Structure 1
Amino acid sequence: MVRILAVHAHPDDIEFLAAGTLALLADTGQHHIIFSTLTSGDKGSRDLSASEISELRRKEAASAAAIIGADYVPGDFLDQEIFSDNASRHAVVELLRKTRPDVVLTASPVDYSPDHEATSLLVRDACFAAGLPNYKTHSPSIGEIPELYLMDPLGGTDRNGDTIDPDFIVDITDKIAVKRAMLEKHQSQRAWLKAHHHMENYVEQMEIWSGERGKCIGVPFGEGFRRYRGHPFPQNRCLELLLQEHITKRT
C-alpha cells in the first residue's frame, strides 16, 4: 500500500487541482490517501466570523475527501498568515511524521496566492527535515524522504499569466464527475469566490481549467504535475508508475 499525502493551503485547493488524479488512485483500493490543508480558510467569508467559517470549511473538506475514501487532516495555520519560519517548519514536519507518506503532492512554488507559495516551500523543506532524527517534533522521524510532486498553479499560469508547463498530465476525463462532486462540497465558497475572485461559477471554472490541461494531451480533462528533482529527493517516478495508464508525458 502506498501512502499518498496531498497538502495545500486552503480547503478546496486540492479539489481544484488534483481531485481527479486522487480519485483515480483511490479507485484501485490499494492506497491510503490523505488530504491536508494548512489553513481552515478562516478568512474566506464576508458574512461569517473566522471561527464560524473555519468550522464549516473543515466539515466541507472532510466531506469532499470522504467521497473517494480519503482522510482529511486540518492544519492550524491562519489564512493569509502562512510563512516559512522555524515554528511553521516544525508544524509541517510534524504533519509529515504523523501521516508518514511515501508520496507527497503539494502546491506550486509559483502561484497567484502567497499562501500557496509558502505552502510549497514549507512542504518541500519539511519533506527533507522529516527524516532527520535530531530535528525534534512530537512524532519520531520518518525513514525516507517522500517523493515530492508539485500540482499546477491555479489556472496553470504564473503571476504574469504565462503558462507553467507540467512534466506530465493525467487524463482525468473518467473522474471529472467525481471531481465536480468533491468541489461542490465547498458550498461556503460559492458566494466568496464570486465576490472576491470574480468567478461566476467556481465549479464551471474548474472544468474550464481542467479542460485546458486536457487539450494539451488531446483529452477532455486533465491535471498537470511536476516531479521535484532537487537533491536528495527520490526519483522513483512513483506517481507516474501508479498512473501510467492515464498519463501523457510533456516533452
Structure 2
Amino acid sequence: MKLDILAFGAHPDDVELGAGATIAKAIANGKKVGIVDLTRGELGTRGSAEIRDSEAAASAKVLGVVARENLGFADGFFVNDRAHQLEIIKMVRKYRPEIVLCNAIDDRHIDHGKGSKLVSDACFLSGLIKIETRLDDADDVQAQWRPKVVYHYIQWKNLEPDFVVDVSGYIAKKTEAILAYSSQFHDPKSKEPETPISSKNFIDSVNYRARDLGRLIGVDYAEGFTVERFVGVNNIDDLI
C-alpha cells in the first residue's frame, strides 16, 4: 500500500497532538495517511501499554488513517542505531510515502528528540540501494525508497515553525482524536496521578497554540512544522 503521508511518533498520541488536524485535512482532501508509533508508551504514568494500544486504534479510526503500526521499541530507552534504523527503513519502504512527519527536533521528553533524529536518519538511509531489508521474513528484498520531504511537528516546547498549515475546520477532529486517549488527558473523575499533560490547561493549550498560529497567517487555526532542508514550491502563489 503506497501512502501519501506517513507520520511517526515516539509514543501513541504524539502524532495526534502535533499534527492531528493536518492529517485530518489531508485525509479529507483524498490523501492516504498512515501512522507508525515507535513505542507503546509503557513508561507513561497513567494507563498501561494495553490501554494505549486500544486508544491508538480508536484514535486512528477517528482520523481515518488507512494503517497504524507499532514497532514496540523500548519506551525511554530506544536509541538511534543500526537495528532501530532498519526497522524504520522497513516501514518507509513498505508504505513509500512522499511526505514523512515525525517528532519535534527538541522537546521536554527525551524520546521526542531521539525519535525525530532516528526517523530523519532512517529516511535518508532508506534511499540507499545497498541497504537490504526484508519485511516479516519475506524472501523479497524491499526496493529502496526515500521520501521527498521530512517535516517535524511541534510538541511541548514553543519552537518557531518554518511553515504553518491552515487547519481551520479540523480542530474538532483533532481534539476528538486526542481525547480518544482517555487514560492520558484531563478527566476530573480519574483517580490516576496528575501529569503535565493531564491538566485542563494542557488540552486548552493545544487549542490556543493553533489559534495563535492561525492568527499569524490570518486564518482561524494552524499547525506548525520545522524542516531540516530548504522547502521548494512550484509557484510563488502557492504561499499564502
Q: Provide TM-score, normalisation by structure 2.
A: 0.83
Aligned to 1:196, what secondary structure does the other structure show?
Answer: coil
TM-aligned CA distance change 1:185 to 1:86, over 3 Å: same
Q: Does 1:177 align with 2:172?
A: yes
Alignment check: 8 A CA contact 1:39 1:77 kept: yes
Shift of 1:156: 4.8
Alpha-carbon separation, structure 1, partners of 2:215 and 2:76: 33
In structure 2, the partner of 1:187 is: 182
In structure 2, the partner of 1:150 is: 151
Alignment check: 8 A CA contact 1:18 1:151 kept: no
Aligned to 1:229, what secondary structure does the other structure show?
Answer: coil
In structure 1, the partner of 2:45 is: 45
CA RMSD of aligned residues (A): 2.7
Provide, for residues 61-85 of structure 1, a one-character-per-residue CA deviation record: whole Å limited to 9, x for no partner.
Answer: 1211222320211121121112111
Q: Is there any run of 5+ residues in structure 2 with no aligned partner, and where?
A: 136-140
Alpha-carbon separation, structure 2, partners of 1:142 and 1:128: 14
Shift of 1:13: 0.8
Alpha-carbon separation, structure 1, partners of 2:170 and 2:38: 25
TM-aligned CA distance change 1:144 to 1:228, over 3 Å: farther
Task: Give the total of aligned pairs.
Answer: 227
Shift of 1:181: 0.7
In structure 1, the partner of 2:214 is: 214
AA matched with 1:63: A
In structure 1, the partner of 2:227 is: 227
How do 1:45-124 residues align onto structure 2 when only pairs under 5 Å count? Answer: 45-46=45-46, 53-70=48-65, 71-124=67-120
TM-aligned CA distance change 1:236 to 1:58, over 3 Å: farther
Alignment check: 8 A CA contact 1:5 1:99 kept: yes
Alpha-carbon separation, structure 1, partners of 2:20 and 2:143: 26
Aligned to 1:216, what secondary structure does the other structure show?
Answer: helix
In structure 2, the partner of 1:160 is: none
Taking every aligned residue pair, what percent have the same amino acid on both sides? 30
Alpha-carbon separation, structure 2, partners of 1:177 and 1:101: 26
TM-aligned CA distance change 1:8 to 1:188, over 3 Å: same
AA matched with 1:111: D
TM-aligned CA distance change 1:196 to 1:106, over 3 Å: same
Provide, for residues 27-58 of structure 1, a one-character-per-residue CA deviation record: whole Å limited to 9, x for no partner.
Answer: 122x2100111011111135x5xxxx112212
Task: Tell me which protein shows more helix as a share of its residues.
Answer: 1
Shift of 1:122: 0.8
Shift of 1:2: 5.4
In structure 1, the partner of 2:126 is: 130
AA matched with 1:89: Q
Alignment check: 8 A CA contact 1:149 1:225 kept: no
AA matched with 1:58: D
TM-aligned CA distance change 1:237 to 1:146, over 3 Å: farther
In structure 2, the partner of 1:25 is: 26
Q: Is there any run of 5+ residues in structure 1 with no aligned partner, and where?
A: 158-163
